[in-house]
Structure formats: structure tokens, C-alpha cells
Amino acid sequence: MSGPGKEIRLSRIIDPSDARAVVIAADHGYMLGPIKGVIDLGRTIASVTEGGADGILVSPGQAAKIGYLFRGKDRPAMLVRADWTNAFRSKTYTLPSRHVQHRYMTSPRQAMALGADAIVIYFFVGYADDQEEAQHVSRVARYARECEEIGLPLIVEPIPLGERITGANYNELVGISIRMSAEIGADAIKAPYTNDVEMYRDVVRSAGIPILILGGAKSKTLRDALEVVEEALESGARGTVFGRNVVQAPDPGAMVRSICQVVHGRKSAREVTRPVAEGKMKLRVSRPRDCTGCHICEIACSAAHGAGYGLESARLFVRPSRDGFRPVVCTQCLKCVEACQRRALAVDSKLGCVVLDASKCNGCGDCAEACPVDVVRMDQGRPLFCDLCGGIPECEEWCPREVLASVRR
């Protein structure tokens, strides 16, 4: 990085004490119009500030209007979006873009005058037209040169999109476009995480400059969003620039706090969202109407117990119900334990699930007979019982509609 100006400003974003950053993107209005969460931008920014964000990304127009929210020693850094594109535009007022357009909107000097500690610009890789690609590169280079002159950090957001992008080359191009950005003069990167820790380690290493991962569309679950952060950090990324996942959360400040717990607090996604329950627990069908009959819970159960992918060895099953489908799980009613004449069944003292002592079992099947919901299967002469997977039930983990929930007893 060239010069103290850039170093000082970047240190307001990437905390020098742990070399990590939690930045929130609130520049969507530029490209998408007034989406939920950015309508009352002042309120969102106040909430996000309170949550502990290190930096907030806004458009130049908004920076001019709400810049006062960044005044003061304990306020987040301001990042300004300096360019515009049609690639992510709202589809409710116009067709999806057919042709990626990109324009320089505000200069680094102008951004700095607004109070920016950094600017963020796009870098697209994947144009079919070589001329357009060349023009795009030269725009990015112009920003880089001016940023150098005035000591303003340049954060580049490289994204593979365009006619040349395929399912096969996308991930590779993430790495390539990041390195190209560094070569042109970026000081830090905002980029997608490619969902593969090993591969992203190489991406981080070859970048040579800090990478903050973007969040994309609003994730349905907090757990998924934080897991992506956790993996990216494991690969060496330095933090996040989440937008919709934060500004569209019911409580943006709380969302920021959760992200900070992972990024600065070094907690895992699971620790933040689902600490392993202590003590006895059981499975509950908490949202039966949402079951789509996909059977994912059964195959996950089967595989988790070493039986490969199949339906014969699952400890739960999905059956048709009056208005759709419904998983049937062990309710720990313990009628099987009562029915066993050979005292082969007991209740686990830690979790409360039923446990089989195979040495005492003769495969008579009385337990299966006694089960009021018919969930006890016989497999090669021995009954199978739900063991709650040691405290983190696989069925609950994998269910795409959150139909199952484990609860403390």
C-alpha cells in the first residue's frame, strides 16, 4: 500500500488489533431503488452503528445527506460507492439486464470530500466484447491512480459475470479477478466466497491484500449466513461486507452483533446460533404443515449412522398425512423400554434418548410392536433407536423447511 494516508484510513475500517472488519453495505438504493431496510436509511445506520459495525458503505447522494451520522470518535468509518451498474437492477420496473453496463459516478476526490475513508467500485470479468472489457479495466485503473494521489484506500469488488461465465469457470474467475484487482491497484477486496475452504485459501494467498466477503441476497437462516462467514475466515478472509442480510433483518443491530461475534469474537456459527443444548432433549415436529415429503431427514439419518444413503435404517420416517406429509419421530414415550422383557433398553442419562444393550437383545421385536407411532425399525435382527446424534440431530440440521426442532426437556 502506498503512503500513510491509505494506511491510516484503512485502519479505521480494518481493525488493527485483530486485522478484521465488519462492514455493512447500505448502498442498494443506487441500483435497486428503495428496498426494504434502506427506506429509512438513517434509522438503519443508527441501528447498525449501535451493533458495532466497523464501516458502512453508502452512495454519494446518501453520504451527503446523512454524513452527520458518521461524526464522532466512536462512529463507524464511511465507505462510498463510487460507481454504478445495471447488473443487479430491480426487475420490478424493467427487464433483467441483457448487457452489463458500468459507469464512473463520483471521483475519489469528491468521495473524500464527503468524508469517505475508502471508496468501493466494481470490476467485472466475463464480457464477451473485448472493447468493453478494455474500457472497464481502464476505468478501474483511473480510480486506482487517483486514489494513490490522494491517499484514499480503493476497495475493488470483482465479480465474474457476463456472457463468458459458465458454471464451470465461475469459481476460478473469482480468484483470477481478485488477483487482477490487486495488480491494478486495489488496497482491499469485496468479493464472493466460493464455498470451498481449501480453494479459497489459495484465492486469499494469491490476492496478497485483505479480502472481505460479500453476503448476497438475504439468507433464510442466520446460521447459513454466519457459517459462510466462518468458513471464509478460516480460509484467511478478513471479514465481511454484508448488505441485505443486515439491512433487511428485523433488527439490523442484533445482526451486526452476531456477525461481530464470529468475526471479532472468533466464535463459530453454531456457537452463536445454536449452542449445543445441555441436558435432556427430544425432537419435536414443530412445523408439520411445512413438510414437503422430501425425505432428506431420513437419508441424512441413515448416512449419519454409517448405513450409507438409504431409507431402511433411518430412525425416523416421513409419511403422508391428511394435508400433506409429516415426519414421525421418537417421542421418548418409553413404551418400548417397558415392553422389553430382557432389560435390553435403557434411557440415556445425558440426553434422555433410548439406548440398546445389544448383548441382551434377542431380536424379539416386542419394542417395535409397542411403539405407538411405529418408528422402531428392525435392522438385521436388532431394533434401531434415535440417539439424537449425540446432541445435534442430523435430521434437524438438514431439513430444508425447519420442520424439526430439538428442544430441552
**Nearest residue (CB) to other proteins, 66 versus 303:** 303
Q: What are phi and psi of 215, to 5 degrees?
A: -105, -20
Query: Rounded to whole angstroms, how far apart are CA atoms 297 and 289?
Result: 16
Q: Where on the chain is the footprint of other proteins (CB under 8 A)?
A: 87, 91, 95-100, 124, 126, 128, 161-172, 194-196, 216-217, 219-221, 224-225, 227-228, 292-296, 299-300, 302-303, 307-313, 323-324, 379, 398, 400-401
Q: Coil, strand, or helix at residue 305?
A: coil
CB of 389 to other proteins, least distance (A): 13
Classify residue 20 by its DSSP letter.
Answer: B
Judge contact between 210 and 19, C-beta under 8 A: yes
> At a CB cut-off of 8 Å and minimum separation 6, what does 260 contact?
22, 51, 52
CB of 296 to other proteins, least distance (A): 6
CB of 382 to other proteins, least distance (A): 13
CB of 84 to other proteins, least distance (A): 15
Judge contact between 186 and 209, C-beta under 8 A: yes
CB of 165 to other proteins, least distance (A): 5
CB of 401 to other proteins, least distance (A): 7
CB of 344 to other proteins, least distance (A): 23
**Nearest residue (CB) to other proteins, 91 versus 360:** 91
CB of 86 to other proteins, least distance (A): 9
**Nearest residue (CB) to other proteins, 91 versus 350:** 91
Query: Rounded to whole angstroms, how far apart are CA atoms 98 and 376?
Result: 56
Query: Rounded to whole angstroms, how far apart are CA atoms 52 and 47?
Result: 9
**Nearest residue (CB) to other proteins, 65 versus 99:** 99
**Nearest residue (CB) to other proteins, 295 versus 335:** 295
Query: Rounded to whole angstroms, how far apart are CA atoms 8 and 216?
Result: 29
**Nearest residue (CB) to other proteins, 265 versus 308:** 308
Judge contact between 283 and 395, C-beta under 8 A: yes
**Which amino acid type is present at position 257?**
R
DSSP-H helix ranges across 128-169: 130-150
CB of 95 to other proteins, least distance (A): 6
Query: Rounded to whole angstroms, how far apart are CA atoms 144 and 185?
Result: 5
**What secondary structure does DSSP assign to 207-254, as a single string?**
H-S-EEEE--SPPS-HHHHHHHHHHHHHHT--EEEE-HHHHTSSSHHH
**Nearest residue (CB) to other proteins, 69 versus 404:** 404
**Nearest residue (CB) to other proteins, 143 versus 200:** 200
In the chain, what is the greatest distance between 2 CA atoms, to the nearest angstrom? 85
**Nearest residue (CB) to other proteins, 251 versus 312:** 312
Judge contact between 145 and 119, C-beta under 8 A: no
Judge contact between 392 and 281, C-beta under 8 A: no
CB of 177 to other proteins, least distance (A): 13
- The C-alpha cell of 104 is what? 464512473
* Radius of gyration, alpha carbons of the chain: 26
**Nearest residue (CB) to other proteins, 172 versus 338:** 172
CB of 229 to other proteins, least distance (A): 12
- The C-alpha cell of 75 is what? 462512529
**Nearest residue (CB) to other proteins, 18 versus 379:** 379
Judge contact between 376 and 317, C-beta under 8 A: no
Judge contact between 395 and 350, C-beta under 8 A: no
